């Protein structure tokens, strides 16, 4: 009997589809449960309509890599009583509505560690996630989660930054699957982007080492103009704080969803996608 042909992961299919369309992928981020679970469901579905990959943040009480906008989102979600079960339920709702969308769960190690990585990975996969980005587990400590993620068919997204050495780039690329998330600045989410030429040069260098893994750029992309610039040299453009920032500025669910949809459509157009 012949062995079955392995199918590419959903994330790989997303990047291939974008490549065929001659554009970069739009990776949109929102924190699950912000400002409450029912509203979060509507917002995630609205952003999914415009995104190629949706990053769903797992709220945590000490999101040390995040700026004030996403920190506040975690605080609102936790104050509303959001639990990891809600994150999985929201993920399942989005997956059922968007079978071809890439979905990545993003957060900190405390959440899956407390649950147990085997149980977490099983439930994440069952909910429809394709990958996991755990901000505070570096490649050197991957032994605590890599086997569980791989067993359940979840890609492990790895972070690189402007200060990453060649040794660290090689290590991260060897451990990663799905894509590399390049943090465009030395700082927290939502800060201003640095020199665009410097970002482009670093991405080019990483792509020479990344063994054909796509490289997405995030942290600091706030305008369609910036998204267009980043899309010109990256496989994906990550927009987070810009989208999350719409939530506290609106008075009701309809207003938030409307503002988010308009903003996301603008960013989608900026990365080269045809409406």
CB of 120 closer than 8 Å to CB of 112: yes
- Catalytic choice (34, 52, 66, 155): 66
* Residue 52, helix vs strand vs coil: coil
pLDDT of residue 4: 40
CA distance 78 to 59: 7
Q: Which two tokens stand for residue 210?
A: 């990344």
CB of 54 closer than 8 Å to CB of 104: yes
In sequence order, the 6+-apart residues with CB closer than 8 A to the CB of 34 are: 40, 43, 59, 73, 74, 76, 77, 80, 82, 244, 247
Q: Which two tokens stand for residue 104?
A: 């990545």
55 is catalytic: yes
* Location of structure tokens 């903003």: 263
CB of 217 closer than 8 Å to CB of 238: yes
pLDDT of residue 194: 65
pLDDT of residue 223: 94
The Cα angle at residue 217 between residues 124 and 141, in degrees rounded to 5: 50
CB of 58 closer than 8 Å to CB of 101: no
- Catalytic choice (34, 55, 130, 155): 55
CA distance 13 to 19: 10
CB of 61 closer than 8 Å to CB of 78: yes
167 is catalytic: no
- Segments of the chain with pLDDT less than 70: 1-8, 186-194, 274-275
CB of 183 closer than 8 Å to CB of 216: no
Q: Fold for domain 24-270?
A: TIM Barrel (3.20.20)
pLDDT of residue 186: 57
pLDDT of residue 219: 87
Q: Which two tokens stand for residue 21?
A: 């369309």
pLDDT of residue 1: 36
């Amino acid at each position: 009997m012949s062995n079955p042909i392995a199918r590419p992961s959903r994330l790989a299919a997303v990047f291939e589809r974008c490549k065929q369309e001659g554009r970069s992928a739009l990776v949109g981020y929102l924190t699950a449960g912000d400002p409450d679970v029912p509203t979060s469901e509507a917002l995630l579905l609205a952003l999914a309509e415009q995104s190629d990959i949706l990053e769903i943040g797992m709220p945590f009480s000490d999101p040390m890599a995040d700026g004030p906008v996403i920190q506040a989102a975690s605080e609102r979600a936790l104050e509303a009583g959001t639990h990891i079960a809600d994150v999985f339920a929201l993920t399942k709702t989005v997956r059922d509505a968007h079978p071809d969308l890439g979905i990545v769960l993003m957060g900190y190690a405390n959440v899956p560690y407390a649950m147990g990585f085997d149980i977490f990975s099983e439930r994440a996969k069952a909910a429809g996630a394709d990958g996991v980005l755990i901000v505070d587990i570096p490649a050197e400590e991957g032994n605590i989660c890599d086997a569980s993620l791989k067993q359940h068919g979840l890609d492990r997204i790895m972070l690189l930054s402007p200060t990453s050495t060649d040794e660290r780039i090689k290590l991260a690329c060897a451990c990663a699957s799905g894509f590399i998330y390049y943090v465009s600045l030395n700082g927290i989410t939502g800060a201003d982007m640095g020199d665009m030429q410097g970002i482009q040069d670093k991405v080019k260098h990483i792509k020479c080492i990344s063994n054909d893994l796509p490289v997405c750029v995030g942290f600091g992309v706030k305008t369609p103009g910036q998204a267009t610039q980043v899309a010109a040299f990256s496989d994906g453009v990550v927009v987070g704080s810009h989208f999350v920032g719409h939530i506290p500025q609106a008075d009701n669910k309809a207003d938030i969803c409307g503002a988010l949809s308009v903003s996301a459509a603008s960013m989608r157009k900026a990365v080269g996608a045809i409406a």
